[in-house]
Structure 1
């Protein structure tokens, strides 16, 4: 039976031929990254790491949500995470429209009212990055020994800029 996933499953079979799994799942480089789901971002490559080195958490806008905080707590408590990067990016759809505009576009596409959803658009990326970094640093289950930094990734140049 042919499915719409056949090309991906075939690519996975090729990948699995050389895959050397079996390590314990810790973050070997002690890094956890929160970033956007944007396909222009290659999280490990952009900071010179490879598979197994870091925990990667992705969502629209790269926001530190309640679920992301749970993952960070687990990462620092159980998976040897010592550094957390919060990374938003230039030309992000979450930072280029209003909440209402995004809800209208979703409603137009689906034909269903989306006004009840909280999309979480970003009005000021610098301020949002600072606030999300503060959420992590001030969380009672994230030790002060964990380094937390905020960054803006430029999707055109590939460079990260620290946000203080």
Structure 2
């Protein structure tokens, strides 16, 4: 049986983590609009992640959808629906990563800090190691920042078992959001597959997250 594109990306990552370049950065010339590998990747915007490099994808092979945390929010769902139904992707790869900034705050804490709460400003400054400058006003947008569940850790804190658990929780929540959406089929002839991973920024390796499983506590 031939390997899935996701399996190929896992193999490519092992080469990448070992120091071998798989992605070719040269301009490839004209490309068709549909991704050649029929895969969409949802990943964090973190500057330490070069998605094409770490998965060994070439220009024109995949849709790359990025935001803070690699969170599966409404806009990611919107993009995946277009990607699948109009542009023929049928595999989704979710990529979170260690030392993620989304582990260092809560939605309420960040909103309070932006609105001018001195205690929140102090906590955010301690978490980030820089002075937090409040805008001292409220706003209804964004409705959520989608910070990861669980007890806070300092920004860019060393990776440990607890932070890994929090990352796994959010990967599973993202997988569940895709698999349960009525316009993203998970069975039948037009089904999409979804797999989730955590990228280690200190080693270059990705590790797969099991599903189903725990999705987290607010404590």
* TM-score normalised to structure 2 length: 0.61
Instruction: State the 1:35 CA deviation.
Output: 0.7
Change (3 A) 1:125 1:114: farther
- State the alpha-carbon separation in 1 of the partners of residues 74 and 135 from structure 2: 29
1:105-128 deviation line (CA, Å, top 9, x unaligned): 656335333675532211222111
Q: Which residue of 1 aligns with 2:207?
A: 161
Pairs aligned (count): 147
Q: Which residue of 2 aligns with 1:113?
A: 137
- The correspondence for 2:171, drawn from 129, 134, 141, is 129
Tell me, yes or no, if structure 1 residue 146 matches structure 2 residue 170. Answer: no
Instruction: State the 1:47 CA deviation.
Output: 0.9
- State the alpha-carbon separation in 2 of the partners of residues 66 and 115 from structure 1: 19
Q: Which residue of 1 aligns with 2:80?
A: 72
Give the CA RMSD over aligned residues.
2.1
Which piece of structure 1 moves more, 73-82 or 56-65? 73-82
Are the aligned partners of 2:28 and 2:59 in contact in 1 as well (CA < 8 Å)?
no
Tell me, yes or no, if structure 1 residue 94 matches structure 2 residue 118. Answer: no
Instruction: State the 1:141 CA deviation.
Output: 1.4
Are the aligned partners of 1:130 and 1:163 in contact in 2 as well (CA < 8 Å)?
yes
1:100-153 deviation line (CA, Å, top 9, x unaligned): 444466563353336755322112221111111011112111122211011111
- State the alpha-carbon separation in 2 of the partners of residues 57 and 71 from structure 1: 8
- State the alpha-carbon separation in 1 of the partners of residues 96 and 183 from structure 2: 24
Q: Which residue of 1 aligns with 2:49?
A: 41
Q: Which residue of 2 aligns with 1:12?
A: none
- State the alpha-carbon separation in 2 of the partners of residues 114 and 64 from structure 1: 25
Q: Which residue of 1 aligns with 2:32?
A: 24
Q: Structure 1: which 5+ residue stretches go unaligned?
A: 1-17
